[in-house]
Amino acid sequence: MSFARKLIAWQRRDGRRALPWQDTRDPYRVWLSEVMLQQTQVASVIPYYERFLARFPDLQALAAASEDDVLRLWSGLGYYARGRNLHRAARRIALDLKGAFPESAARIEALPGVGRSTAAAIAVFAFGERAAILDGNVRRVLARCFGVEGARAQWALAERLLPKRGIETYTQGLMDLGATLCTRANPACERCPVALDCVARRDGRISELPAPRARKQQPTRRATWFVFVHRGEVLLERRPSAGIWGGLWAFPEKALACGIRNKKRLPTLEHGFTHFKLKVQPVLCQVSARTEAPGRIWLPLRDAVAAAVPAPVKTLLSGLLDK
């Protein structure tokens, strides 16, 4: 039995069934789930996916929304460029394509924030296109099972393995295998449907394949956040669209002339990014007057917690609200 047929049989028997984006060919829902699942675990995505759909049930609703509304719902999910690109793509489809979602992997890949593998997954699940995916989990499965590494070789292998029938089940099976059995650490080889064909298992190289990337020591960046408070309201500043937390609201990183009556250093915060660590010193400043300026907004603490703010900003605001 071929690799694809084994995987299809296993997925039908033991694969994941209850994910909220399964059993639909609605391209909007498929697209939303695939974008949210980029570099994010299923358990983290599910509540965001459900809240997002409740607020934006279709592409037209998303396209009509403000970026601030979109980022507010995305807050805490991370990789915020995904949310901004999702919104940009929705508007492009609504305006340039008259609301018609593109129906091929090649055309889907042209949307903002959609790469080759994500486009293929959307085309498979929404339109039944015979297309290969190659996300991080699938790379690990192919590296171990076939002993093949390197993007070019793995893409060629992924294309060769495609079945003529059952593409949706096969693709879901690949995702399920990498996410639930062929995990990075402690893979469940005894339950794997292709264990007898696995090169890594045969050669005792499970821990070696795929070859781990050389880990670089992450640099630490430091910042000071000025938490200006006036009569139960807090000052937030919109971050530039480029860079970390682009388009979100955060605390100013420079002192402002707004009549500081009292100043207090709060406990430091640390937040990890892919390539660096951020260490923040928050400074709580009680001020005697509000300073207005473009790109800044004063909000009641409760409203600020619910705004489009990064996770550590939300954490700090929640702590102030509880006091």
> Distance of CA 195 to CAs 70, 143, 227, Å?
43, 13, 55
- pLDDT for 293 beyond 90: no
In a domain, 211, yes or no: no
- The pLDDT of 81-99, averaged and rounded, is 97
Residues 143 and 22 in one domain: yes
Q: What is the CATH number of the domain that holds 61?
A: 1.10.340.30
Residues 6+ apart with CB under 8 A from 47: none
> Could you give the percent of the chain with pLDDT greater than 90?
90
Residues serving a catalytic function are 34
Mean pLDDT (the chain, rounded):
95
Q: Residue 70: what pLDDT? A: 97
Q: Residue 210: what pLDDT? A: 95
Residues 129 and 251 in one domain: no
Q: Residue 234: what pLDDT? A: 97
Q: Residue 217: what pLDDT? A: 86
- The pLDDT of 213-231, averaged and rounded, is 91
User: Structure pTM?
Assistant: 0.92
> Distance of CA 135 to CAs 84, 102, 202, 236, Å?
21, 21, 24, 37
Q: Residue 177: what pLDDT? A: 98
Domain boundary among 144, 171, 202: 202
> Could you give the percent of the chain with pLDDT greater than 70?
100
- pLDDT for 323 beyond 80: no
In a domain, 116, yes or no: yes
Residues 293 and 198 in one domain: no
In a domain, 273, yes or no: yes
Number of folded domains that form the chain: 2
Q: Residue 256: what pLDDT? A: 84
- The pLDDT of 127-135, averaged and rounded, is 98
Residues 189-221: pLDDT tens digits?
999 999 999 999 999 999 999 998 777 888 999
- The pLDDT of 59-88, averaged and rounded, is 96
In a domain, 177, yes or no: yes
Q: Is 149 within 8 Å of 210 (Cβ atoms)? A: yes
Q: What is the CATH number of the domain that holds 281?
A: 3.90.79.10
Q: Residue 308: what pLDDT? A: 95
Residues 33 and 159 in one domain: yes
Residues 14-40: pLDDT tens digits?
999 999 999 999 999 999 999 999 999
Residues 233-273: pLDDT tens digits?
999 999 998 889 999 999 999 988 778 889 999 999 999 99
Supply the DSSP string of 12-81, one letter for each residue.
Answer: HHHS----TTSS---HHHHHHHHHHTTTS-HHHHHHHHHHHHHH--SHHHHHHS-HHHHHHHHTTS--TH
In a domain, 213, yes or no: no
Residue 289 belongs to domain spanning: 220-322
Domain boundary among 155, 170, 202: 202
Q: Residue 215: what pLDDT? A: 76
Residues 304 and 264 in one domain: yes
Q: Residue 270: what pLDDT? A: 95
Q: Residue 260: what pLDDT? A: 86
Residues 43 and 177 in one domain: yes
- 204 Rama sector, left if φ>0, alpha if ψ -120 to 50, beta otherwise: left
Q: Is 138 within 8 Å of 178 (Cβ atoms)? A: yes
Q: Is 168 within 8 Å of 123 (Cβ atoms)? A: no
Residues 21 and 152 in one domain: yes
Residues 169 and 54 in one domain: yes
